[in-house]
Amino acid sequence: MADKAHFATLFDYHWHTTRHLLECAAKLDAADYTADSGYSHGSIHRTFTHVLLVDRGFRLALETGKQPAPLSFDEYPDLAALQRGYSDEQADWQTLLRAGTTTTSQATSRSRAGAVAVRHSSCGACCST
């Protein structure tokens, strides 16, 4: 089983890569950034928003042991809001990872988070338009 340092490395990579991709997206004109690509969640903006909502949903599930209510794409209307959202979420994940010790409650939360992942793939709640 992976240790705390392994998870911290994976999350550092995730946040570093996401910041880089957001910087690249900032170079696009608004039309290209919001254009429906015909794939997955539509636009680049909606795809970034989806990933942020999933990051938050998994963290909340791990913290509480409960599947959170679906979050809305409307919370992040533009790239600046997404950048702030990712920054906040990174800080929240770092706090969770620093907490460190595994309790029965956290182990139960992890198994519930796995159930969230399975349900997420077919729920459509965060993916609806």
Domains of the chain, by residue range, sit at 44-129
Do 64 and 112 contact (CB within 8 A), yes or no?
Answer: no
Do 93 and 99 contact (CB within 8 A), yes or no?
Answer: no
Indicate the residue type of 104: T
What is d(CA 61, CA 53) in angstroms, rounded to the nearest whole number? Answer: 12
pLDDT by residue for the chain (129 residues), tens digit each? 567 788 888 989 999 999 999 999 999 999 999 999 888 788 999 999 999 999 999 999 989 998 888 888 889 999 999 999 999 999 999 998 888 644 434 544 454 545 444 344 433 444 443
Can you give the pTM of this predicted structure? 0.73
Do 79 and 23 contact (CB within 8 A), yes or no?
Answer: no
As to burial, measured by CB atoms within 10 angstroms (0-12 exposed, 13-18 middle, 19+ buried), residue 80 is: exposed
